[in-house]
Amino acid sequence: MIKVGIPRGLYYYKYSKLWETFFSELGAEVILSDKTNKNLLTDGANTCISEACLPIKIYFGHVMNLVGKVDIIFMPRFTSISKKQYICPEICGVPDMIKNSTKSLPRIIDTEINLRESNKNSWLAALRIGEFITRDRRKIKNAYKKALEAYRFERQILKSGVLTDEFMQDNVTLRMIKKRSTQFTVAVLGHCYTVYDSYINMELINKLRGYGFGVVTLDMLDYLESKLRCKELDKMLFWDYGTRAYGGVSQLIESGQVDGILVLTSFGCGVDSFVDELVEKKVRMESDIPFMKLVLDEHSAEAGFCTRLEAFVDMIIRRKTHDFYISTSR
């Protein structure tokens, strides 16, 4: 049985269910890299160029973690994941960066994923990827169909307001999770690889849960609605994340159902330097929702991170329980 390694970084946090189901249905053994940890980050940082952002360095570490354990490493070459939009240029080039700076790599599946022109390219990419495992086109088609079903089911769970890691823990049923209610809700905005990698964000979501806060992420919001709301801008945003973040914030402001907005960004992220400014400006101009941006890099200290988070949480609680939710910023 062919062993296919999947690095647990970057868009793994969006497409894990799709990729794992696809390769398993093709008969391959899927091996994931370890969860992000200090050693893995160190290995990645020592291999990668210093100018790269934290998620890219960590991705290097995940690839290194798989070397010697698998026959093939799957690291797709992402160009676009949505129509007429692109993703971060560093992520586009990460397969080449790794191949040119890492020795003794096994075979690499670096098929391009480019949905900018048409979603049909998704199937063509799946076909090329599947041919690394089998030449049976019908088998690839069936595997792709089942992978899509699993992926869409997971996205539906997310849109219902439940984080999938919570859904999968301890056999807790979806109905039980939905019955929980929280007095406070915070929106956590950021790329999937910063929001869902608990090492990068220092267990942010678990910390918020510990305070009794509910969490909303961009994956829980309607993407088509976000795209529609971006039409108020002079021109459509170039990046997929920009559309999701700006349109998502517009939805959150209108709903009035979040008590705070936290933005996670990586130091040196070119996309975020532009998008986060737009998002912050919109929040401050059109609402009195507390807003805070947390910048992450490999030197971030958890003590300082926790201090800022606690202050943010205390402010939200105080405003809602003692200040009758009147903004103190105006």
pLDDT, average across residues 210-225: 90
pLDDT category at 180 given cuts 50, 70, 90 is low
Q: Are 48 and 101 in contact (CB under 8 A)?
A: yes
What are the E-state strand segments in the chain? 3-6, 29-32, 72-74, 77-80, 107-109, 112-114, 184-189, 213-217, 260-266, 291-296
Residue 178 pLDDT greater than 70, yes or no: no
Higher per-residue pLDDT: 272 or 136: 136
DSSP states along 32-96: EPPPP-HHHHHHHHHHS-TTS-HHHHHHHHHHHHHTTT-SEEE--EEEESSTT-B--HHHHHHHH
Closest CA to 173 of 192, 191, 182, 160: 160
φ, ψ for residue 210 (rounded to 5)?
Answer: -60, -30
Q: How many CA atoms lie within 13 A of 20 on its CB side?
A: 15
Domain positions in the chain are 3-160, 184-323
pLDDT category at 323 given cuts 50, 70, 90 is low
Residues 251-267 pLDDT 10s: 999 988 899 999 999 88
pLDDT category at 115 given cuts 50, 70, 90 is confident
Record the tokens describing residue 16, joined without a space: 């894990």
pLDDT, average across residues 288-311: 87
pLDDT, average across residues 57-72: 95
Record the tokens describing residue 224, joined without a space: 């088509």
Higher per-residue pLDDT: 301 or 279: 279
Neighbours of 58 (CB within 10 A): 28
pLDDT the model gives residue 190: 93
pLDDT the model gives residue 80: 86
pLDDT, average across residues 183-203: 91
Residue 330 pLDDT greater than 60, yes or no: no
pLDDT, average across residues 102-112: 91
pLDDT category at 179 given cuts 50, 70, 90 is low
Q: Are 66 and 31 in contact (CB under 8 A)?
A: yes
Three-state DSSP class for residue 288: coil
pLDDT the model gives residue 272: 86
pLDDT the model gives residue 327: 57
Record the tokens describing residue 141, joined without a space: 């088609």
pLDDT category at 151 given cuts 50, 70, 90 is very high
Residues 18-42 pLDDT 10s: 999 999 999 999 999 999 999 999 9
Classify domain 184-323 by CATH number.
3.40.50.11900
pLDDT category at 165 given cuts 50, 70, 90 is low
pLDDT the model gives residue 173: 59
Fold agreement between 3-160 and 184-323: yes
pLDDT, average across residues 234-238: 84
Choose the CATH number for 3-160 among 3.40.50, 3.30.70, 1.20.120, 1.10.287: 3.40.50
State what percent of residues in the chain have pLDDT above 90.
Answer: 57
pLDDT the model gives residue 68: 93
Which residues, 6 or more positions from 316, have their beta carbon under 8 angstroms from its beta carbon? 184, 186, 259, 260, 290
Record the tokens describing residue 182, joined without a space: 């929280």
pLDDT category at 325 given cuts 50, 70, 90 is low
pLDDT the model gives residue 284: 93
Record the tokens describing residue 150, joined without a space: 């699993």
Three-state DSSP class for residue 303: helix
pLDDT the model gives residue 43: 92
pLDDT category at 174 given cuts 50, 70, 90 is low
Question: What does pLDDT average to over the chain?
Answer: 88
Q: Give residue for tokens 């949480």.
A: 313
What are the beta bridge partners of residue 214? 185
Residue 299 pLDDT greater than 80, yes or no: no
pLDDT the model gives residue 158: 83
Q: What share of the chain is helix, strand, coil (3-state, %, to 5)?
A: 50, 15, 35
- CA dihedral (209, 212, 216, 219) in degrees, to 10, reads 30
Q: Are 110 and 74 in contact (CB under 8 A)?
A: no
